[in-house]
A and B are shown apart, each in its own frame.
Chain A
Amino acid sequence: MLNITLEKRPSDSKAMSYLSPLFAIILTLISGGLLFTSLGQDPFHALYTFFIAPLTDVYGWTELGVKVAPLTLCAMGLMLCFKARIWNIGAEGQFILGGLGGGYIALELMDAEGIWVLPLVLLCGALSGLFWGAVTALLKTRFGANEILTTIMLNYIALNWLLYGVHGPLKDPDGFNFPESALFSDFATLPVLSDDYRLNISIFFALFAVAVIWALMSKTLLGFQISVLGEDKSAARFAGFKEERLIWFVLLACGALAGLAGVSEVTGSVGQLNPYISPGYGYAAIIVAFLGRMHPVGIVFASMLLALTYMGGEMAQMDLGLPKSLTGLFQGMLLFYLLACDLLISYRIVRKPAARTISSSSNPAQA
């Protein structure tokens, strides 16, 4: 038997809550190295290809930004929900519906010209995501339905809605019957920062959201109420906080942010509606929120890491001939190790006293 055991700390370790993500990343890298070795790859070269090679030029960093923007937007919304202990898994569906709603308007305004087109499209996207968040909030507050299950179901419904759109009414009539919409007009396309790269202004939406939510959580009563609701429901009730309103707020905010991420994606790097507008950003954002310690700055860094796993997957496919789904594997490992390491926040590993000392001890509980 192992002669170590877990012992509850008197109070949670702050240092460990920051170290835990680092441990998780290191463990993920080690496991990744072992995995690559078992696949007959040189582990160092493979890890380099996955985690470093994508960022060796300016193009790589701009591509990172392309993926950081939607991840950060979704994760900021999820953070609000998780802070309030609302297990919203629905960012994926809200992202898709945001893309679908915004994309629909963009297609309707195909022939419209003017700088008002893009803001309108973005607004409709955010509202579509917000609508999906509102459905969750209604189900939760009015009917008390478990939000984990309802949001998952809403994700699948949103995906099928998108598929219906691109296979049916929104399909490009000149598109050779591919399940894709027409390309959006220039007036409904997000401006890029430089013509050489795909990075567009959605990265500023993300940074703006980070700043606003940071201020909200650290400076306002509303933010304080959300935190209290999550930490101690009865205290929140005792203090007279309106629980239902807070639940509505976090779910609507998350829906709007994820919807904005979705519409930014379709009017930005995708440029049309197709079945693949989300490579699982809404799910990856859950990992981002946890890994970023539910803190805006942490979330930005965690978004960068998760964005990198997408690029690493593509790089590994191109250079090493490995399946692109390595991305999901690395993301899953990361979350698993993080949860395991998080135990060190409230527990510490101690050496079990040797068996002999137990038998001779006077503690009656051990006799």
Chain B
Amino acid sequence: MDFELFTNILYATLRTGTPLILIALGEMVCEKSGVLNLGQEGMVLMGAALGFIAAVVTGHAGLGIIAAILAGMLMSVLFAFLAVTLVSNQVATGLALTIFGTGLSGFLGAGYVGMAIEGIAPFPIPFLSDIPVIGKVLFSHDPLVYFSWFMFALIFWCFRSTRLGLTIRAVGENPEAANAIGIPVMKVRYGAILFGGAMAGLAGAYLSLVYTPMWSEGMSAGRGWIALALVVFASWKAERILLGAYLFGAASIMHLVLQGLGFEASPNLLAMLPYGATIIVLVIIASDAAKAKLSTPLALGQPYRPQV
């Protein structure tokens, strides 16, 4: 393999992993607060659709990003209202959010299929991007890639050494006890869900404004679901999400690798790889059930109703 190809593959791996990082970090925060939101896929699609529409209408990709974040948050409010306020079944509600988001994004985006926009350009960091290899692989990306690192650092720090992180964890481990010491459980859960929605919306914008600057129905292609598996794989640790997302990124661009090595392979067969990898990962996690149980937030998926 020649050197330039290797560099390009690493570069593409980071790009492909970025939406997964964003979604998985958001979902991790949400799950840390004890809420399992299976609606990621729907929120990502809404972010992608509305981000793209806003970018086309206003002509500013930046406004597209804001619209995508808002779209994700709006969707997550819907989930929060049902799952937190009305204590509905979180699994069913999350599924409904995905089905609804898929339908609504398809409907809203119908008039925008096939349109092309400029997209968000890469922003090579001065000086750093001139370093051989590393400069290309790490410092020649679009702003959202850097932002995903920033969010990683922020969340890592938040759960390591802040009161907020502790509060979220308390709510996810034992909402009754958290409530007893005066933590507003419902508010914390709403906040965590909203954060997850914002991140999923942003990931959607990444897909439709950066990764492939266009909109097509169902374009997230299961990334929301893969990110859900990633959170479990990472045992709710931000640093392992980063690692896992890039591993999946690498699996997703295997066709580039094989083409570079001169192999002919069907793109459809290679497209199965990330999904197959997810299943393998799920099997590995489940086989270590004791450890998985240890790191799972205790109250995950449990509805909480304050005793009045």
Contacts and interface: CB of A to CB of B under 8 A. Distances in A.
Contacts of A336: 78, 82, 96-97, 100
Contact of B99 (A146, A148, A286, A324): A286
A249 interface: no
A335 B89 contact: no
A148 B103 contact: no
B95 A145 contact: no
Interface residues of B, number: 48
Interface string A145-168: 110111011101100110110011
* Max chain A C-beta neighbours (<10 A), residue from B102, B268, B307: B268
A167 B100 contact: no
Contacts of A331: 99, 103
A357 to B, nearest CB: 14
Given A153-B278, A157-B272, A157-B276, A148 B283 contact: no
A36 to B, nearest CB: 12
Given A148-B38, A290-B92, A340-B86, A168 B266 contact: yes
A89 interface: yes
B289 interface: yes
A332 B102 contact: yes
Nearest to A136: B279
A143 B283 contact: yes
Contacts of A148: 38, 91
A161 B282 contact: no
Contacts of B228: 149
Interface residues of A, number: 45
* Max chain B C-beta neighbours (<10 A), residue from A163, A168, A366: A163
Given A332-B102, A342-B88, A365-B308, A323 B276 contact: no
Contacts of A324: 110
A163 B269 CA distance: 9
A283 B42 CA distance: 13
Lowest 3 A-B CB distances belong to which pairs? Answer: A328-B103, A332-B100, A323-B110
Interface of B: 38, 78, 82, 86-89, 91-93, 95-97, 99-104, 106-107, 110-111, 217, 221-222, 225-226, 228-229, 232, 266, 268-269, 271-272, 275-276, 278-279, 282-283, 285-287, 289, 307-308
B272 A160 contact: yes
Contact of A332 (B99, B217, B221, B287): B99
A339 B222 contact: no
A234 interface: no
Nearest to B307: A365
A87 B269 CA distance: 27
B279 A154 contact: yes
Given A148-B38, A164-B269, A153 B222 contact: yes
B266 A164 contact: yes
A294 interface: no
Nearest to A344: B86
Given A143-B286, A366-B308, A328 B107 contact: yes
A144 B287 contact: yes
Contact of B93 (A146, A154, A286, A339): A339
A200 interface: no
A333 B100 contact: yes
Contact of A150 (B97, B103, B279): B279
* Max chain B C-beta neighbours (<10 A), residue from A144, A332, A343: A332
A144 B286 contact: yes
Contacts of B101: 332
B96 A339 contact: yes
B164 to A, nearest CB: 27
Given A325-B106, A332-B103, A160 B289 contact: no
A325 B272 contact: no
A139 B287 CA distance: 11
B251 to A, nearest CB: 12
A332 B278 contact: no
Contacts of B87: 6, 343
Contacts of A168: 266, 268
A331 B101 CA distance: 11
* Max chain B C-beta neighbours (<10 A), residue from A143, A153, A336: A153
A278 interface: no
A335 B99 contact: yes
A167 B96 contact: no
Contact of B106 (A144, A323, A333): A323
A281 interface: no
A154 B279 CA distance: 8
Contact of B103 (A89, A144, A163, A330): A330
B271 A328 contact: no
Given A168-B268, A339-B93, A156 B282 contact: no
Nearest to B221: A156
A164 B217 contact: no
A55 B64 CA distance: 41
B298 to A, nearest CB: 17
Given A143-B287, A332-B99, A164 B268 contact: yes
A143 B92 CA distance: 24
A156 B286 contact: no
Contacts of B89: 339
